[in-house]
Amino acid sequence: MAREAARGLHLGVSTFFYFFLAFILVQLHGLATASLSRGQPRTVMKLTVREVGRELYLVGISQSWGNTWFFLFTSIAAYVIFSLFLHLFLCLLFRNRRPLPLGPIPAVHSLSMVLISLTIFTGILLSAAAEIRETRWFWRRNKTTTFQWLLCFPLGTRPSGRVFFWSYIFYLSRFLHTLRTFFSILRRRRLSFFQLFNHSILIFMSFLWLEFSQSFQVLAILFTTFLYSVVYGYRFWTAIGLPSACFPFVVSCQILLLGCNVLCHVGVLLLHFMKGGCNGIGAWVFNSVLNAAILFLFLNFYVKNRNGVKDTEILDSLKNNDS
Residue partners of 62: CB distance under 8 A and separation at least 6: 159, 160
Contact 323, 184 (CB under 8 A): no
Round to whole Å and give the CA distance between 275 and 151. 12
In this prediction, residue 38 carries a pLDDT of 44
C-alpha span between 22 and 75 (Å, rounded): 16
pLDDT of residue 125: 95
CB distance 153 to 278 below 8 Å:
yes
**Mean pLDDT, each 10-residue run in order, the chain (323 residues):** 51 54 54 45 40 46 71 94 90 74 89 96 94 77 78 86 91 93 82 86 91 90 95 91 79 84 89 87 87 77 66 53 54
Angle between helices 69-93 and 193-211 (to 10 degrees): 170
What is the C-alpha separation between 128 and 166, in angstroms, rounded?
Answer: 10
pLDDT of residue 47: 40
In degrees, rounded to 5, the angle at the alpha carbon of residue 179 between the alpha carbons of residues 67 and 53 is 40
pLDDT (tens digit per residue) in 124-140 = 999 999 988 887 766 66
SS3 (DSSP) at 36: helix
Taking phi over 0 as left and psi of -120 to 50 as alpha, with beta for the rest, 304 belongs to alpha
For residue 272, how many C-alpha atoms fall within 13 Å in the half-sphere facing its CB? Answer: 16
Residues 237, 83: Cα–Cα separation, whole Å: 26
What lies within 8 Å, CB to CB, of 94 at 6+ separation is 2, 5, 6, 100, 189
